[in-house]
Amino acid sequence: MLVHIVTDNFNTGGGIEHIFQIVKGLPQFDFRIFAAPGDAIDRFSALRNVETCARGYSPSLVLKQKPDVVHVHHLRPLLAFHMNPLVKIAAPVIYTAHGLHIHKYEFSAGVFCRLKYKLRFALEKYLFARVDQIIAVSQEDQNFIRTRYQSDHVSCIPNGIDSSRLEQVRPRKIEIGNEFRLPAQRILFITVARFDFQKGYDVLLRAIALIKDFLREKNARFLLVGDGETLPEMKKMSEQLQTTGLVHFPGRRTDVHGLMKSADVLILPSRWEGLPIVLLEAGLLKIPVIASDTYGNHELLGADRGVLFENESADDLAGKIKGTINGEYKLAHQADNFFYEIKKNYSVAHMLVSLKNIYLSAISGTSGNQ
């Protein structure tokens, strides 16, 4: 079977990591991956069943070699495929929704925002109706697509993670302390996410500013790891809030897991998520987690597996950070619970079996719904 995987770019991130796990874990299938250039394309070079094409995702390019299945992982290429309603695509098209970015418009007020929500909703409903199968990465997203878009061809396949790739990760507290000039006795918080509106870095910075004197007294420090369009804005915001010295911006790193393992707590302040891989990684590394109580996050962290704060509330996040430092939560117990939840229900093996069944169902013309 030849599967053409299509996404927006080859940049490092959760989406590319997800695709890598798919093509690596299904060696019996041949894959071609189409996307714009990015820094992670070389990851695929050692996989014998994979070819990469960094010339974009135009339908003429993707469909030229007549794939058995087209698997799209981003809304932009999905729109490119269905821009012309008269074009008939011979191969079945599967779309994985890595979170529903229509949620963005729930966090802004005004007539213009409501208009953009309606336009986005109409576009997504049109596109979702034209694909053969939709895959949601969380039960919450599956229910949203079924009820709001009235789609009856949606399945839930949660993101899976290969625990073996994290088993050898060791903390490097001394080296990291020296690199960032951290106090010898410290409490280190880490956030790993791209810098954009969705990820809520502004909420985190406001929370830090609210208790900055307490944080300095307790030798707490924050590593905000990643790159993206709002990074310059967040650096400027940190200066304006006078959190310089408390907050470090390492940018994009190749040693993310080592940084995570060297931290005491991971914070994910996102306004919305699909099913964030960074939380799965934190769980396998047994790092306690503070996260916003929002789509994706509470599906993973409910039932005493992490600390949730009110979404977009800097006040509540500040209180949860302070409570964490003061020992108000059973962080080790929560981390253990989260670890066993991931090992049980979020293995890459389970994800691959479910996806393989979707592929086979697509080419045979039967339903892949779960």
pLDDT tens readout for residues 129-166: 999 999 999 999 999 999 999 999 999 999 999 888 89
List, in order, residues 6 or more apart from 368 with CB less than 8 Å away: 133, 153, 155, 357, 358, 361, 362
Whether residue 355 sits in one domain with residue 304: no
Whether residue 183 sits in one domain with residue 247: yes
Whether residue 341 sits in one domain with residue 199: yes
Whether residue 179 sits in one domain with residue 73: no
Whether residue 173 sits in one domain with residue 109: no
Q: Does pLDDT of 369 surpass 90? A: no
Q: pTM for this structure?
A: 0.88
Percent of the chain at pLDDT exceeding 90:
87
- Structure confidence at residue 170 (pLDDT): 93
Whether residue 169 sits in one domain with residue 315: yes
- pLDDT (tens digit, 9 = 90+) per residue, 276-326? 999 999 999 999 999 999 999 999 998 899 999 999 999 999 999 999 999
- Mean pLDDT over each residue of the chain, to the nearest integer: 94
For residue 223, the domain's CATH number is: 3.40.50.2000
List, in order, residues 6 or more apart from 364 with CB less than 8 Å away: none
Whether residue 325 sits in one domain with residue 358: no
Q: Does pLDDT of 84 surpass 90? A: no
Whether residue 212 sits in one domain with residue 80: no
- Structure confidence at residue 366 (pLDDT): 56
List, in order, residues 6 or more apart from 175 with CB less than 8 Å away: none
Domain assignment of residue 137, yes or no: yes
- pLDDT (tens digit, 9 = 90+) per residue, 31-50? 999 999 999 999 999 999 99
Question: If you compute the radius of gyration of the chain from its CA atoms, what whole number of angstroms results?
Answer: 21
More confident residue, 88 or 101: 101
- Structure confidence at residue 85 (pLDDT): 75
Confidence category of residue 368, pLDDT binned at 50, 70, 90: very low
Q: Does pLDDT of 352 surpass 60? A: yes
Beta carbons of 354 and 21 less than 8 angstroms apart: no
Whether residue 178 sits in one domain with residue 145: no
Domain assignment of residue 370, yes or no: no
C-beta atoms surrounding 292 within 10 Å: 28
Range(s) of the domain holding residue 102: 2-160+347-364
Confidence category of residue 365, pLDDT binned at 50, 70, 90: confident
- Structure confidence at residue 109 (pLDDT): 80
Whether residue 131 sits in one domain with residue 87: yes
Whether residue 274 sits in one domain with residue 257: yes
Whether residue 177 sits in one domain with residue 300: yes
Q: State the sign of the Cα–Cα–Cα–Cα dihedral 106, 108, 110, 112.
A: negative
Domain count of the chain? Answer: 2
Percent of the chain at pLDDT exceeding 70:
98
Domain assignment of residue 369, yes or no: no
3-state class of 16 per DSSP?
A: helix
